[in-house]
């Protein structure tokens, strides 16, 4: 049997518990940290994570933390307000309670999140990104009345859109919604759509999205527009669309980009740099509507041309009708049809008595035919014989 | 190859004849021939008008 004085582990942990409880048990603390190793258990409404602090790239502090079910709603509030998933890498300010357990060790119970801080931090980051884009673009990207004028959203869009490059996540709700709206359009317009799929969430997304933009340019296909869409499903990370890398590429891209990134509350920086339509369905609907407007313009022009031509042709018809009437009135046949007769000798119309030859038969032309007769005597208008 | 008469050419000839008919400058013995010629120009004009009407209809509809 050992002669060294000792205590049981449980006695030590009891002392630790008492000390910690004594020192920290009644208090809660607001701390700033980065959330890492986030594991959410939605069914029992718990979230386990690490809270870390880095300084000059090196980790200087780390503790395990948990959102118990009573406080899980803080995560939901955060995601709803920030429109961003509560996930690894999120910088937060949170209120924690220190808790020690003899078996599970030292933990922090997170009881509140400072959403305003995160929103402010995001807003600041966004402002800096926008300023950076404007600076690097050397006057080509300008803010005008809260909107951004960029080389991309200044590009003219063809009156008829036929060839579309669709940049989205593979087999996503966004792709399905976009294609459904486009291909099932009520006007039966047909479209050529090529999908350029990549991951559009997570740290790798910006580089992958840029790579797809390059592929579109190198395809050799003359696309009318690029549809940049995501959407549907659960709340996801919009961060890639707020990064300088992607937003700068969008701002200077030489094919018009239509965004349907699928969030109604906020505009991503990509939305500001391109033409924004909120959802994939709205992008497709706008394309169909644009083509329909063009068709209507053509129908209207055809109607105008038809009206103008009809007007010209009607004038000509009236002129010809007048000409026919004049000719008819001048036609000797018209006069004969009224009971008058025409005198002819040897096929020549006689208009003067001096032209009559007494010895030649006289042809009296009347409505029903000719009367051939011989001249007995010719008298002038005074009854004198010629 | 026979030169196709244009509408303006036919209309001009018709117009000249109509002016003569309306002014009464035509010798009566020349009248039947002039009337015949005017009717021919009218027929040509009407044929061109019909063809034009049909061609436009084909293009627009």
| Interchain contact, B31 vs A327, CB within 8 Å | no
Cβ distance A68 to A40 under 8 Å? no
Q: What pLDDT score was predicted for residue A339? A: 86
In which band, very low, low, confident or very high, does the pLDDT at B2 lie, cut at 50, 70 and 90?
low
Which carries the bigger pLDDT value, residue A128 or residue B61? Answer: A128
Q: Average of pLDDT values for A229-258?
A: 85
| Interchain contact, A316 vs B38, CB within 8 Å | no
Q: What pLDDT score was predicted for residue A258? A: 98
Residue A319: list chain B partners with CB under 8 A.
11
Q: Is A326 on the interface with B (CB under 8 A)?
A: yes
Token representation of residue A124: 């600041």
| Interchain contact, B35 vs A319, CB within 8 Å | no
Q: Check whether A232 has a pLDDT greater than 70.
A: no
Q: What angle do CA A43, A48, A50 make, to 5 degrees?
A: 160
**Could you read off the pLDDT of A293-351 as tens digits, one per residue?**
999 999 899 889 889 988 999 999 999 999 999 999 888 888 888 888 888 888 888 87
Q: Check whether A24 has a pLDDT greater than 90.
A: yes
Q: Distances in Å between the alpha carbon of A129 and those of A32, A189, A195, A259, B14?
A: 23, 40, 29, 19, 79
Which carries the bigger pLDDT value, residue A170 or residue A246? Answer: A246
Which carries the bigger pLDDT value, residue A292 or residue B31? Answer: A292
Q: Average of pLDDT values for A360-371?
A: 89
Question: Which range (A235-244, B18-27, B46-55) has the least confidence?
Answer: A235-244
**Could you read off the pLDDT of A140-197 as tens digits, one per residue?**
999 998 899 999 999 999 999 999 999 999 888 889 999 999 999 999 999 999 999 9
Residue B49: list chain A partners with CB under 8 A.
313, 316-317, 320
In which band, very low, low, confident or very high, does the pLDDT at A354 lie, cut at 50, 70 and 90?
confident
ipTM of the complex: 0.89
Residue of chain A whose alpha carbon sits nearest to that of B53:
A313
Pairing of strands A105-113, A58-67: parallel
SS3 B40: helix
| Interchain contact, B45 vs A316, CB within 8 Å | yes
Q: Check whether B9 has a pLDDT greater than 90.
A: yes
In which band, very low, low, confident or very high, does the pLDDT at A266 lie, cut at 50, 70 and 90?
low
Question: Which range (A81-90, A103-112, A186-195) has the least confidence?
Answer: A81-90
Q: Is A132 on the interface with B (CB under 8 A)?
A: no
Q: Check whether A122 has a pLDDT greater than 90.
A: no
Token representation of residue A52: 């870390």
Entry pTM: 0.65
**Closest-CA distance of chain A to residue B32, Å:** 7
DSSP state of B26: S
**Could you read off the pLDDT of A31-68 as tens digits, one per residue?**
999 999 999 999 999 999 999 998 888 999 999 999 99
Q: Is A324 on the interface with B (CB under 8 A)?
A: yes
CA distance A375 to A385: 12
Chain centroid, CA A88 distance in Å: 32
Q: Is A378 on the interface with B (CB under 8 A)?
A: no
**Could you read off the pLDDT of A196-216 as tens digits, one per residue?**
999 888 778 999 999 999 999
Question: Which range (A7-11, A90-94, A163-167, A265-269) has the least confidence?
Answer: A265-269
Torsion-angle region of A202 (φ positive above 0: left; ψ -120 to 50: alpha; else: beta): left
Q: What pLDDT score was predicted for residue A264? A: 62
Residue A326: list chain B partners with CB under 8 A.
18, 21-22
| Interchain contact, A313 vs B60, CB within 8 Å | no
| Interchain contact, A316 vs B39, CB within 8 Å | no
């Amino acid at each position: 049997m050992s002669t060294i004085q000792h205590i049981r582990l449980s006695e030590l942990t009891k002392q630790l518990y008492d000390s910690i409880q004594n020192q920290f048990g009644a208090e809660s603390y607001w701390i700033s940290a980065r959330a890492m190793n986030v594991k959410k258990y939605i069914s029992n409404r718990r979230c386990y994570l690490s809270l870390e602090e880095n300084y000059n790239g090196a980790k200087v502090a780390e503790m395990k933390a948990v959102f118990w079910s009573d406080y899980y709603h803080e995560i939901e509030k955060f995601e709803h307000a920030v429109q961003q998933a509560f996930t690894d890498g999120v910088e937060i300010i949170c209120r924690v309670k220190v808790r020690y357990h003899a078996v599970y060790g030292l933990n922090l119970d997170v009881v509140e999140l400072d959403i305003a801080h995160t929103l402010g931090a995001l807003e600041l980051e966004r402002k800096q990104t926008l300023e950076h884009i404007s600076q690097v673009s050397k006057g080509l990207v300008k803010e005008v009345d809260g909107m951004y004028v960029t080389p991309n959203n200044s590009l003219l869009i063809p009156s008829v859109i036929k060839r579309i490059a669709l940049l989205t996540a593979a087999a996503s709700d966004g792709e399905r919604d976009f294609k459904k709206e486009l291909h099932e359009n009520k006007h039966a317009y047909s479209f050529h759509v090529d999908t350029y799929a990549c991951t559009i969430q997570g740290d790798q997304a910006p580089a992958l999205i840029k790579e797809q933009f390059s592929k579109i340019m190198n395809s050799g296909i003359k696309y009318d527009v690029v549809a940049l869409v995501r959407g549907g499903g659960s709340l996801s990370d919009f961060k890639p669309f707020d990064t300088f890398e992607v937003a700068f590429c969008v701002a200077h891209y030489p094919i018009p980009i239509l965004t349907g990134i699928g969030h109604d509350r906020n505009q991503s920086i990509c939305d500001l740099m391109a033409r924004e339509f909120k959802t994939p369905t709205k992008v497709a609907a706008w394309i169909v509507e644009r083509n329909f407007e063009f068709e209507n313009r053509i129908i209207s022009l055809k109607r105008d041309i038809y009206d103008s031509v009809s007007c010209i042709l009607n004038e000509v018809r009236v002129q010809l009708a007048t000409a026919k009437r004049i000719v008819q009135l001048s036609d000797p046949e018209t006069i004969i049809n009224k009971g008058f007769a025409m005198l002819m000798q040897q096929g020549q119309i006689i208009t003067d008595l001096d032209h009559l030859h007494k010895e030649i038969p006289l042809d009296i032309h009347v409505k029903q035919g000719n009367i051939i007769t011989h001249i007995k005597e010719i008298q002038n208008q005074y009854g004198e014989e010629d | 190859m026979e030169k196709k008469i244009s509408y303006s050419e036919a209309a001009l000839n018709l117009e000249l004849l109509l002016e003569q008919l309306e002014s009464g400058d035509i010798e009566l013995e020349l009248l039947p021939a002039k009337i015949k010629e005017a009717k021919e120009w009218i027929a040509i004009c009407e044929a061109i008008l019909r063809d034009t009407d049909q061609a436009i209809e084909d293009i627009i509809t």
